[in-house]
Every structure is written in C-alpha cells, then in structure tokens.
Chain A
C-alpha cells in the first residue's frame, strides 16, 4: 500500500531519488540536540489548541453584560473579549483545559527556544557556515516572545490590560516618533477600543505567518547543512554520524512529540494558569498587586523596575524613563545577540568552517561572555518579581530593588570572569591532545592526522 503510494508519487514528482537519500539521512543522537525539537512540538501543541481557542474568542472591546455561569461576575459590564474567555473557561466543554494547555505550551515553547539557543551558543554551533540560521533562530525567539505577549494580552483581564498599558507607555517613550507610534499601533490614546482586535490579528496571523516561514527556513537550512556534532572517535569535520531518519530517528522524534504534548496536557490539567476570572475584567482605573508578565517578558519588566529615575529633558522635549530600560537596553542586547557570530569572527579572526562543536571549555572567552549575559538577564527577570521576592523573604521591596541594582551591575562581570577562568583551567587540565580521539581528522591524503599536524 505505502509502496504503491511512493511509486504513485514518484511517477508524478520524481520523488524516489530524494526519498532514497532522505530516508537514510543521518541524525546525531545527542540529547541536547533535541531541545529545538521540544520547542517545535510545543509549537504544534500551540497551533492545535490555538485554532480551537480562536473559534470561541471574540476580539472586541465592545461593552457587554456577562450572563455566564461564573457567579461573582454575573451582571457585570466587561469587554466582549473578556466575556468570551469566561465562556470558554466555564461554559465550553474542555475549553478550560485547552486554554490552560495553550498557555503552558507558550511558556514551555519559549523556555525550550531559550535553552536551544543557549546550547547553540555555548557549543559554537552558530559558526560558519551557520550564521544565517543563527539570525533566523534569533528572529524565531523574538517572534515567539511577541506571540506570547500578544496572546497574554488578549483576554482583556485586569492583569493583561495592565500589561498593554505598560507596553503602550514604553512605545510612547521613544524619542521623536513615540507618540505617533503608540497612537498608530494601539489605534489611538490608551485605552483604544480597537486594540484587542489588532492584537488578535498579530497573534494569529502576522506573527504565526512569520514564525511558520522562519521555521520552514530554519529546518530547511539544517536539513541542507546537516547537523553539527561533538568530536568522537571515527568522526570527522566532513562527515556526520547518527541514526537514519527512517525508521529510527522518525520513531524517536514522533515519540518525543507525543511526550511533549503529554507533558503540556498534564500541566494544563493539574496546574491552574492565568485564572482571569479572579483577576476580573480590565478596568483602566484599577490595578492588582503583584502584577507580573509571563516569564519571558520578566527581564524587560525587571529592567523597568530597576532603572533609576533618569529622564532627559530640554529644548521643549522629553525622553522619558521607560525608553532606556524598555527600548534602548533590550535593543542593544538583542542586537549583540543577533550579531554574535560576526562579532566573534571579528574578535577571534576565526572565519573557518566548523562542523564540530566546541565544549564550553574550548572557548573560554565566548563562554565567559555568555555566562555574564545570562546572569544579567536572569537577574533582570528576578527584578521583575521584586515585590514577590520581597514578600517571600520579608524584606522591604525597596531594599530588594537597591540590592538588585548593585548585583545586576557586579554579578555579570564576576560570573563571566569566573566562567572564563574555570573554562581555561579545565582545558589546561586536560593537557594537550588529551585523548587520542580528541583531535583526529582526515587529511588530504586520506589518512588520519591529529589536529596539530598540518595535512
């Protein structure tokens, strides 16, 4: 049956020669190479649950009176968007669990992307010839964050409305064009009734279109360039060793996909997430405490909280406080992250092709920079929950803020330097070409040489 299908396809597309190679394609089996796959399958869960949610969501800021089954809100005025999320949560069978799986999938999706990016960074997998895929991957991370933030904003509850309010203010703070940008993006002065509809269009169409395009390119390039791998006996720079796509890798990957969605389903069933009915409808004149965004926006929120009160004024104009932590700082950090392959090439002068991965110790400077930057982002994320931390430890929130301000400046360079020294020492302790396996490569004459020998 399947054979007949394959032959039918080959008659029309000439697919047999592609299939012959593709089915025997080698996929390295290191566990850390599956982090991106986890993100991919979380995205599948997001698409499936997201389509379901879209069928029930009303993207409208129009005032309605709630008459659903959640008693404490019955008879209250609220946006049609919020009312539709309540209906989905309480009056649609399996609606709540689908909503919760969607939200958990979003949190895990971004987490897996971040972990995957860290793996690629610390192993130097972004080096030539993979710079383009690093840039695409960076775009995917940013798009995932944008998808997450727009999704978090859709229910129009008190917490998410506060998030939109802050996003509006950050956009407003941009010099020269900020006021226009905020008015055009949100459809007028906050709170504009059209905002929710726009966020939905971005969330389900524009951003998903871009993610799907970037994801397709990301995977096609990996397919074409073949995977990187760690050094091991019998491996060379110009070969790649692993399980064949069919059936071993396909089985493992499908199994992993099912396991990822199973974990998300378990989270969605067991742990309550974003109980918007407790938050209540968004009312521009009130706010709740504590007020946090989802974790991947935490570093931006933390930067806003830690920033001392600086504002530039003069010549009849102002550059307000949120610009520096909310636009300038993330802009610089994201630019450095995106351009890292080229920065590293410039610094080290290493423009050679690399298919073997580094271990963290193999590139102490890169590992040091990465550890420092990671420390900084983690501290900013913690600062985003400074009031929760303060309450947990029974310390004034102002004290937490002041301490974190200092730590955020001191700890990253310290962590970077310690990482650098540890990596250097580890490498030195291995001695020169430690295991014989460590540095074999195939010379021009076909024989095997150690890396020190010139082939």
Chain B
C-alpha cells in the first residue's frame, strides 16, 4: 500500500464493518441506539475516507475562473429590449380587447376564491357561545355529575356541561374556595354558592388550557405564556400578556345538591378576535 493510503483504507474497512454490524443488529430485531451509532459509523467513516482522499491524495490544484460581467454586452441588451418593444407594439392599440382581457383575468381571480372559501365553515356566531345552558349539570371528565360536598376547599376539577364531556369550548374549571374570601365583580352575587366558583379553562391570551392552580394563592397560571389570573377577583388577569379575565360560569346548587349552571359564560371564551366587542 502506498504511503497515505493506509489510514484511508482503515476508514473504509471501518465503514464496511459498520454497515455489516448494522445489518446484523437489524436482523436481530433492531435497537435504536445501536442503529443510530452504527449508521453514523458506516456513513461517517466513508465520508472521512473520501475527505481524506481528497485532501491527502489528490494534487492541490487551484483553478481560476474568470467572471463574466453580469450585464450582457450593450448590443445584446439593446436587441433584447427591441424584441420586447416590438411585441408590445403589436399587442397594444386594441383597447377594447385589452380591457376585456383584464376583465377575464379578474373573473378568473374571483373564481380562484371559491376553493379557498370551501376550506372552512363561516365563523358566524359560534365563537360567542358554548354548550352551557341554564340548568346544565356540571359533570367531570368521566361524566359523573358533581355534587356539593365532593369538592373540598382548595380543590380544582375540570368540568363540562352534561352530555358534552371533553368539549374543547365548554371546558370549565370548578374551584372551591372559602366563600367569604371571594371578591367577585359587581353583579355576580350568587354566582358562586358555598364558594364553588367556575371559570372557562381556555386562556384568553392564546387559548391554552389554564391548567396550573396555586391553591393557597388562589391563582391560575397558564403554562404557555404565564398569564396569571386571580380566582377570588373573578379570574382577573394579574400578570402576563392577557388583558381579559377568564369568563365566569354562574352556578347554583339544586335541591338534590347537584351543581348546575344558570346560564352561559359571562363573556365569549378563549383568545380575542376582531369581532369581539369589549
């Protein structure tokens, strides 16, 4: 073997070995770490061999290319502009046809909007409502109706309107706090019987579920962008990028002790949008 070839030969043999070993590992049922490493060996050793071949065995030769200037020679430029202008002359002057041509193109542009319109339903009023109705029972993720007494002070549970378990728009946090600590906004007297207070779980910033409840501080935190809400003050925002409180769900406890909604949320749920009036 000629000088300089030995190390390259070693790398090539290593690559062959890597490929064979990878074949064996695969045939034996596969193992992700070995697969990755052996593939890296097979490819890497081959790559190293080729690079070493180029750097050590090939003559170091520098070639020099002459750049052609970007603008074409003047006479070619002139010929090109003339050719374009000649065609332009032949096309212009037929004003009516020209206008109709533009009209036809505009018509086609209009037609092109239809497939785009088909991509989704009209937003309509769906953004303003959830599935909560006056009298809806509150059920947990397993569909069990929630009853007074099942939730201790300091607890939180995700609830849905009966019949809509898992609903992304109606998901609601039911939290129990000491009733005398509540400082709900005016007009919400009676919305939180016995300290049961319910808010939309969808963050009013970017829509993540507001999943973090710091029970002692009575604060809800959204893990996506750290919007923080004060449960006692009607889930008003106290930190982070959101401006709007989590909409509150008015509750009552019926004669049998079941928790029920008395209506829909106090505001449209979820992140803001253009049609949302304050």
The finding on whether chains A and B are genuine partners in a shared complex, rather than unrelated, reads yes
**Chain B interface SS verdict (over half):** loop
Residues A258 and B47 in contact in the complex (CB < 8 Å), given A170-B206, A269-B37, A289-B212: yes
Q: How many Å lie between the Cα of A291 and that of B208 in the bound state? A: 10
Residues A397 and B37 in contact in the complex (CB < 8 Å), given A94-B30, A188-B121: no
Q: How many Å lie between the Cα of A257 and that of B274 in the bound state? A: 49
Instruction: Say whether A172 contacts B273, CB under 8 Å.
Output: yes
Is B107 on the interface with A (CB-CB < 8 A)? Answer: no
Chain B residues with CB below 8 A from A238, complex form: 66-67, 69
Residue of B nearest to A166 (CB): B206
Q: How many Å lie between the Cα of A405 and that of B135 in the bound state? A: 46
Instruction: Say whether B206 contacts A185, CB under 8 Å.
Output: no
Q: B residues 199-246 with Cβ under 8 Å of A?
A: 201, 205-209, 211-212, 222-228, 237, 239-244
Count residues of A near B (Cβ-Cβ below 8 Å): 99
- How far apart are A299's CB and chain B's nearest CB, in angstroms? 14
Q: How many Å lie between the Cα of A21 and that of B222 in the bound state? A: 62
Q: Mark A290-333, 1 if CB is under 8 A from B, else 0.
A: 11000000000100110111110110111111100100000000
Instruction: Say whether B226 contacts A169, CB under 8 Å.
Output: no
Chain A residues with CB below 8 A from B276, complex form: 317-318, 320
Chain A residues with CB below 8 A from B277, complex form: 313, 316-318
Instruction: Say whether B47 contacts A255, CB under 8 Å.
Output: yes
Instruction: Say whether B209 contacts A285, CB under 8 Å.
Output: yes
Residue of B nearest to A25 (CB): B65
Chain A residues with CB below 8 A from B62, complex form: 26, 241-243
Residues A320 and B35 in contact in the complex (CB < 8 Å), given A240-B65, A251-B51, A251-B54: no
Instruction: Say whether A239 contacts B66, CB under 8 Å.
Output: yes
Q: How many Å lie between the Cα of A328 and that of B237 in the bound state? A: 23
Which segment, of B79-87, B89-97, B112-120, B178-186, faces chain A? B112-120
Count residues of B near A (Cβ-Cβ below 8 Å): 81
Is B193 on the interface with A (CB-CB < 8 A)? Answer: no
Residue of A nearest to B166 (CB): A285
Instruction: Say whether A285 contacts B273, CB under 8 Å.
Output: no
Residue of B nearest to A308 (CB): B241
Is A180 on the interface with B (CB-CB < 8 A)? Answer: yes
Instruction: Say whether B224 contacts A287, CB under 8 Å.
Output: yes
**Chain B interface residues toward A at CB < 8 A:** 26, 29-30, 32-37, 39-44, 46-51, 53-55, 58, 60-67, 69-70, 116-117, 119-123, 126-127, 141, 158, 166, 168-169, 171, 201, 205-209, 211-212, 222-228, 237, 239-244, 270-278
25 intermolecular pairs with C-beta atoms under 8 Å apart: A25-B65, A26-B64, A94-B30, A96-B32, A169-B271, A186-B120, A187-B119, A190-B168, A243-B62, A248-B54, A251-B54, A255-B47, A255-B49, A255-B54, A259-B43, A263-B44, A269-B33, A284-B171, A309-B243, A311-B244, A320-B272, A321-B242, A322-B271, A387-B223, A387-B226
